[in-house]
Structure 1
Amino acid sequence: MLKLIAPSFSALRRPALRLAAAGFALFLAGCAGLPPRAPEPPTLSIVASPATRLGRAAASLNNAAQDGLSSVRPLVEASFALDARFELMRRAQASLDVQTYQLGNDKTGLLLLRELRNAARRGVRVRLLLDDFYTAGMDRLLLGLAAEPNAEVRLFNPFVNARDHSATRWLEFFGDFRRLNHRMHNKLFVADGAMAIAGGRNLADEYFLRSEGANFIDFELVMAGPVVPEAARIFDTYWNSDVVYPIQRIAGTSDGAEALKSAFEAATSPVHAPPPAPPSGTDLMGDAPLGAQLADIGRVKWMRADAHAAADSPHKALGALTPATESLAARFHEMTASARSDVIVISPYFIPGDEGMARIREGRARGVRISVVTNSLADSDEPLVNINYNRYRVDMLKLGVNLYEVSTEQLKRNRQFRTLLKKARGRLHAKLAIVDREWVLLGSMNLDPRSARLNTEFGVRVRSFELSQALLYAYQLDDIEGVYRVVLMPDGKNVQWIGTGDVDNEVLDSEPDSSLLTRLQLLLFSWFVPTDQL
């Protein structure tokens, strides 16, 4: 999620510095617009073929069925999700199309870049599409990948000036706020046009439990069948959009191709990008790693499901108004509004707004059971969002909504999470909904105004009782632990937090694991950041 945290300007008190800063900001505002984009022939996805191993595997999973269904498997555990990407990259023979909001300049991001480079050198066509918000200081690295004959790197809605430093990027951001405030939040990975991975994970350490500071609990789906060409066509729409630029058009360098390749080789060496230990045994679902499944494809049974991919238009980045019925948020709300019995929403950021509260009220009037799992204040990486969610908490509880907040302290009372997280914090990042225990909605979209109005998002709708049951089991949603259950206090005006991680089930009357000073500071900041920016 875009972090709207302003840089410190305490040094600008002196008039001369203020004048210089103002002049620099005006300069950036005047030249921050994108350069003209010459029309280019569109590049399209390579369709699945039995000539590739992954194409044959996908055909085997679908058994040449003509029922319109796809084959899917959930990727709940981070180590299995990362390993699945390595397997697809190493087995790819025709193409790799990767789209993400954030690619970390860390051991995970560097290792994934190296695998993409290796695939390109094997003759695989590689297309890497990045949102440009988190690429500060990475231009030379990305140019090194793009220097390979079979690899292309493109940037969505890019910054134009002062690209190497975050601080100067912030000046450009505010100088061209109306444009740069729109970001591409999509996450998609397609191999040989035959298999795809979609969900909430960015490509950085903290999304695969490889960070020592804080890690995210997330969810993805690996897919084969008709949903994959749907996703691939969406990728093509973005790749060929006029808000996407080849990195060579944006990031200049005097280095030649060989120098860039050499620098890439050094930056992505095992010293900087050590590979993780391969996952052992089976995951929570009892599934072997993807490589083992592909090696024994004739005996592996994936879930068969009606699955469809959808996304916002890339022109959302230009402030273009998407027809209300076509936005991903509108499709999500339409699906949840059709619920007959229950809706379970898992989202790291949850701001229902007035429209969302009206939908909740209508659903509860029809007897629909609604449960929401989100981050606690102490464990949100966007605490300002949490403050705005708090404004709706009492009203939701009065309507009978079940509210749960994820807490590191509660999670670590579970031995499995304690082992996975070690000393790091644990935060929720999965974005999914289960409707009537029959439909699963997943992807990159948070349930907040930023996802609905500003960022572009990608999602998949799956009709599968089997997948729904698997997720209820994996996340223990029928008997949830590792969270605080939020309830109304007897006065009906305030809330309490009841622990679920041990037999004591502690009861708290204030935000868990957060200080009064922190809460006051966030409340003050929330007055100055509009809700529609969160």
Structure 2
Amino acid sequence: MTPTAARALRWLLPWLLLGASACTSLSPLQRERAVQVAAQAQSTLDTCERDDACADPSPLRALGSRAYAQSSPESPHHYALLLDYGQDALLARLNLIRSAQRAIDLQTYIFDEDDAGHLVLDELLVAARRGVRVRVLIDQLSALKHVETLAALAGAHRNFELRIYNPVLGRAHINYPQYVLAAACCWRRLNQRMHSKLLLVDDIVGITGGRNYQNDYYDWDPVYNFRDRDVLVAGPATREMAANFEAFWDARRTRRIAELVDVGKALLRDGVPPLPHPEFDLPGRAQRMAVDAGDDALVERRLASAALPVGEVEFIADLPAKHRRSGEDEVAPSTRGLRELIASAQSEVLLQTPYLVLSPAAQDLFRELHDRDDPPRVLVSTNSLAATDAFITYALSYKYKRRYLRDFGFEIHEFKPFPADAPIDPEATGAFGVSWREDGTPVFTRAAQPEGRRPLGREYSALRWSGFSANEPVPLQRAGVRFGLHAKSLVIDQRIGVVGTHNFDPRGDNYNTESAVVIEDPVFAKALADSIRRDMAPANAWTIARRPKPPVFSGLEYSLAKISEHLPIFDLWPVRYATSYEFQPGPDCPLPLPPSDPGFRACYEPVGDFPEVSLGMKSVLTRIFTGFGAGLAPIL
């Protein structure tokens, strides 16, 4: 054997051994023993003997009781509350968990072991100890980071149960070589994820939307946070939510954690360990949130009083059967419902998605809308390259800007990484140090940036372990706490509002299970539309429009660029159709204008294709994936 071959074998051997370990499994007897070890260790302590499980009173839970009391089968009544601010979304969750009298069901894609994750987990365990049945369902690829934590939760309490959805290779966690093995043997199954999100309390109040259980969904990360949106629904629609949760809880791909190879082996080897709980990164912040969650007056003033009375509410949601489909010709319920709503639009479609990559069917739908004699106006709020957490996805959006603007008639507004007037709370991030921009808005920075994120922290499973940090934000020209759009919402004709988990992308159509709340109510639709328009305002977003035409051969350039765009690979034409514009207010430009307005170019200044981005490898890679990455669209 040559020295080079020997070195290669030494490098490959650990990876081969780790990959081979993925093929090991527990025998039926071992699985049963692991389950018994966990069950025997479960605490039976009940801290409350009251019928209501010593639940705290809650203005939010009271909305559910009121809605059910007002409803009849012929005339349902609901209350709906938009949760735009991350702090509000966490406050609502903690307050509702404390109010539970019988049951809590929590379904999520990501559940991290950071401050926000631990705070919610602590509250769930307290609820279980006072007599509430607590069930938690998490997708495998984004479950709690440590096997020790899962082993501890398997034996935590008789009223608490955690299950894992779609555990590829039969494990709670997979490492890098195991991920490669899973991709080689089970690519489609690896990408079929439970992206649905739900918190349901006593089957009368539910929260769904974009947020997972991780610091950056609640403005608690010192580097990068999501501007996200949930909706709280109180009333009879929660029956459909409960039925959907039951379907996932009992699904063939759902497993008890003690049955999984890595957790089961840990239980057989060491028994049930104590629940690890490192100190909060910012204990004062966690303590303040815990105190606020018990402040009824604050919750009433800040949240419950803003709930809107609405009539019928529809919960459209995929079932686990979506992952048993033989092909992509069958349209899943969430996708079918959203397409039907968009197709019904007469005057306006207001769409917000963090990842503007459309499936062929969605492109056909928007093309048909645009080809109508009197097409509806389509406004899109999405991420810029500077704000996104998935630059490969942005590269595909960048590739099709001409199509979106010209063929579909989109008006696109791309979210800025440092929005000046968005529903965010930079001070909650824990970053320290404040500097000031020329316009008087603050920039919050920290002295040391934390290490890069594990794959747990991102939603694009197919590329999360790639070697070029596919799911890391790009470097910027200036420091600061960055925000990226993560909300998924839709408003049709100012009369129907939709908040959910679907990114309106191919992954949501074909791979992920999704859900959404649909409310046909003009007051709710206006509130949601106002929220989206705020994200599209010049203080928070750049406007995308056709770049100035070159003085000569503009038609030739357009034709060559269009031909290049249609190529699945080698889309290398260097000049793209559109670029980013910044609004320049003044006496002659008092208000923002759409790109179709004749006065647009007098009031807007082009600021380049990738404003705020520090030109470097990520910008080069964005161009590369624009040129060669069209084949990735189905998994993006």
TM-score by length of 1: 0.84
Do 1:73 and 1:222's aligned partners in 2 also have CA atoms closer than 8 Å? yes
| CA displacement at 1:95 relative to structure 2 | 0.5
Do 1:219 and 1:431's aligned partners in 2 also have CA atoms closer than 8 Å? yes
> For the structure 1 residues 15 and 168, does the alpha-carbon distance in structure 2 shift closer, same or farther, using more than 3 Å as the test?
closer
Q: Distance in 2 between matches of 1:420 and 1:89?
A: 22
For 1:132-175, what per-residue CA distance to the aligned partner results, in whole angstroms no more than 9, with x for missing partners? 10236423213323321100000000144675664344234324
Number of corresponding residues: 505
Query: Residue 510 of structure 1 aligns to which amino acid in structure 2?
Result: D
For 1:353-390, what per-residue CA distance to the aligned partner results, in whole angstroms no more than 9, with x for missing partners? 43322221211233210011110112111111111111
Q: Secondary structure at the match of 1:476?
A: helix
Q: Which residue of 1 aligns with 2:154?
A: 146
Gap regions ≥5 residues in structure 2: 36-50, 430-443, 445-479, 559-576, 587-602
For 1:475-499, what per-residue CA distance to the aligned partner results, in whole angstroms no more than 9, with x for missing partners? 4359723100000123374212112
Do 2:115 and 2:280's aligned partners in 1 also have CA atoms closer than 8 Å? no
Alignment of 1:44-83 (within 5 A): 57-66=63-72, 67-83=75-91
Q: Which residue of 2 aligns with 1:512?
A: 611
Q: Distance in 2 between matches of 1:252 and 1:33?
A: 8
Kindly indicate whether residue 262 of structure 2 is the aligned counterpart of residue 262 of structure 1.
no
Q: Which residue of 2 aligns with 1:332?
A: 338
| CA displacement at 1:56 relative to structure 2 | 5.7
Q: Distance in 1 between matches of 2:101 and 2:94?
A: 13
For 1:427-469, what per-residue CA distance to the aligned partner results, in whole angstroms no more than 9, with x for missing partners? 0000010011111122111121111111111211111111111
Kindly indicate whether residue 472 of structure 2 is the aligned counterpart of residue 389 of structure 1.
no
Q: Distance in 2 between matches of 1:254 and 1:353?
A: 43
Q: Which residue of 2 aligns with 1:466?
A: 523
Query: Is the deviation greater in 105-114 or in 176-185?
Result: 176-185
> For the structure 1 residues 242 and 12, does the alpha-carbon distance in structure 2 shift closer, same or farther, using more than 3 Å as the test?
farther
Do 1:403 and 1:485's aligned partners in 2 also have CA atoms closer than 8 Å? yes
> For the structure 1 residues 143 and 532, does the alpha-carbon distance in structure 2 shift closer, same or farther, using more than 3 Å as the test?
same
For 1:167-222, what per-residue CA distance to the aligned partner results, in whole angstroms no more than 9, with x for missing partners? 34423432433322211111100001111001100110000000011000011111
Do 1:157 and 1:317's aligned partners in 2 also have CA atoms closer than 8 Å? no
Q: Secondary structure at the match of 1:133?
A: helix
Do 2:81 and 2:306's aligned partners in 1 also have CA atoms closer than 8 Å? no
Q: Which residue of 2 aligns with 1:485?
A: 543
| CA displacement at 1:471 relative to structure 2 | 1.9
> For the structure 1 residues 13 and 203, does the alpha-carbon distance in structure 2 shift closer, same or farther, using more than 3 Å as the test?
farther
Query: Is the deviation greater in 97-106 or in 16-25?
Result: 16-25
Do 1:144 and 1:261's aligned partners in 2 also have CA atoms closer than 8 Å? yes
> For the structure 1 residues 388 and 495, does the alpha-carbon distance in structure 2 shift closer, same or farther, using more than 3 Å as the test?
same
Q: Which residue of 1 aligns with 2:435?
A: none
> For the structure 1 residues 21 and 280, does the alpha-carbon distance in structure 2 shift closer, same or farther, using more than 3 Å as the test?
closer
TM-score by length of 2: 0.71
Q: Which residue of 2 aligns with 1:275?
A: 286
Kindly indicate whether residue 207 of structure 2 is the aligned counterpart of residue 107 of structure 1.
no
| CA displacement at 1:57 relative to structure 2 | 4.6
Q: Which residue of 1 aligns with 2:376?
A: 368
Query: Is the deviation greater in 88-97 or in 26-35?
Result: 26-35
Q: Which residue of 2 aligns with 1:533?
A: 635
Query: Residue 218 of structure 1 aligns to which amino acid in structure 2?
Result: D
Query: Is the deviation greater in 477-486 or in 118-127?
Result: 477-486
Query: Residue 505 of structure 2 aligns to which amino acid in structure 1?
Result: D
Query: Residue 407 of structure 1 aligns to which amino acid in structure 2?
Result: K
Alignment of 1:293-442 (within 5 A): 302-318=308-324, 320-321=326-327, 324-366=330-372, 367-399=375-407, 400-409=409-418, 411-412=419-420, 422=444, 423-442=480-499
Q: Which residue of 2 aligns with 1:450?
A: 507
Kindly indicate whether residue 25 of structure 2 is the aligned counterpart of residue 15 of structure 1.
no
Q: Secondary structure at the match of 1:470?
A: helix
> For the structure 1 residues 321 and 189, does the alpha-carbon distance in structure 2 shift closer, same or farther, using more than 3 Å as the test?
farther
Identity %: 25
> For the structure 1 residues 191 and 270, does the alpha-carbon distance in structure 2 shift closer, same or farther, using more than 3 Å as the test?
farther
For 1:406-438, what per-residue CA distance to the aligned partner results, in whole angstroms no more than 9, with x for missing partners? 0114x1377976667733101000001001111
For 1:197-252, what per-residue CA distance to the aligned partner results, in whole angstroms no more than 9, with x for missing partners? 01100110000000011000011111111111111100000000010001011122
| CA displacement at 1:302 relative to structure 2 | 3.2
> For the structure 1 residues 59 and 263, does the alpha-carbon distance in structure 2 shift closer, same or farther, using more than 3 Å as the test?
closer
Query: Residue 206 of structure 1 aligns to which amino acid in structure 2?
Result: D
Q: Which residue of 2 aligns with 1:118?
A: 126
> For the structure 1 residues 418 and 152, does the alpha-carbon distance in structure 2 shift closer, same or farther, using more than 3 Å as the test?
closer
For 1:109-136, what per-residue CA distance to the aligned partner results, in whole angstroms no more than 9, with x for missing partners? 0111111000000000000000010236
Alignment of 1:277-292 (within 5 A): 277-278=288-289, 290=299
Do 2:112 and 2:145's aligned partners in 1 also have CA atoms closer than 8 Å? no
Q: Which residue of 2 aligns with 1:7?
A: none
